[in-house]
Amino acid sequence: MAAAQHGRYRDIAGHAMNKARFEAFSDGVFAFAITLLILGVALPAFKTAPGESALRDALLALWPNVLAYALSFAVIGIMWQNHHALFRMIERVDRTTIFLNLLLLAGTVFIPFATSVLGTYPAMHTSTFLYGVVLTYCSTVYNLMLAHLIRSRAFRTDISPETVRGTLNAYRTGWTTYVAATLIALVAPLVSFAAYIFVTLYYLIPHGVDRDLGTP
């Protein structure tokens, strides 16, 4: 009981799994991924020093990259917030949770590459489809991890079933929207881009475990 209260859980081999280390590692990966996003905003190489007008035009031409950067910054930021909100309600972590979390982080660090492609080619089917595939993957893993946490009864006993159900519904809504936006990218890339922005705005509104930020 004392181990559980300190966020520790023993796997079948008897090895202690520390929830604090789990969260710290995840925070580090989220921070690394969100920092990498800025690398997708870069001026083209000039053979000689550009004049004022050439530099201004080059900067203005970067607006799709800046928009993609802002979108993905919000996406990763919301993913981190949801991760924090979810695991503050979790009493323990096990090996399956850690494995699913690693899969989630693997998708997270791929977002900067997909963002760079999207910002460079914002109106192309391939770029918007790739972006959707990456976000759909992350959303899929989030849903699998939440389902595992529910099955393994990892939530604290004071967390209400309504809160858990609200979280489950919010995650499923996000997944459905990402799948739809990804498929739309095959026929209407700009509509797909707008859908990615829509689902990001949707997650700015607290849902489920993310609703009460005052809960410790």
The confidence score (pLDDT) of residue 210 equals 57
- Cβ atoms within 10 Å of 1's Cβ, excluding its own: 4
- Residues pairing with 57 in the sheet: none
Helix (H, G, I), strand (E, B) or coil at 48: coil
For the CA atoms of 59, 61, 62, 67, the dihedral, rounded to the nearest 10 degrees, stands at: 130
Q: pTM of the full predicted structure? A: 0.83
Residue written as token pair 């209407």: 188
Q: What is the model's pLDDT at position 10?
A: 52
CB under 8 A, 24+ apart: contacts of 194-197: 196/71, 196/75, 196/131, 196/132, 196/135, 197/71
How far apart are the C-alpha atoms of 16 and 139, rounded to whole Å? 28
- Residue 185 is encoded by which pair of tokens? 């990218």
The percent helix, strand, coil of the chain (3-state, each to 5) is: 70, 5, 25
Q: Which long-range contacts (CB under 8 A, 24 or more apart) does 106-110 make?
A: 107/134, 107/137, 107/138, 107/141, 108/29, 108/30, 108/33, 108/76, 108/79, 108/138, 109/29, 109/32, 109/33, 109/36, 110/134
Task: Give the closest residue to 94 by CA, choosing from 38, 206, 186, 10.
Answer: 10
Q: What is the per-residue pLDDT for 128?
A: 95
**Which residues lie across from 10 on neighbouring strands?**
16
Rounded to 5°, angle at Cα 151 from 150 and 155: 35
* Tens digits of pLDDT across the chain (216 residues): 444 444 454 554 444 478 889 999 999 999 999 999 999 888 877 777 778 888 888 899 999 999 999 999 999 999 999 999 899 999 989 999 999 999 999 999 999 999 999 999 988 999 999 999 999 999 999 999 999 999 999 999 998 888 888 888 888 988 999 999 999 999 999 999 888 988 888 877 765 555 554 333
Q: Are the beta carbons of 143 and 172 closer than 8 angstroms? A: yes
Residue among 141, 142, 136 at smallest CA distance from 199: 136
Let me know how long the chain is.
216
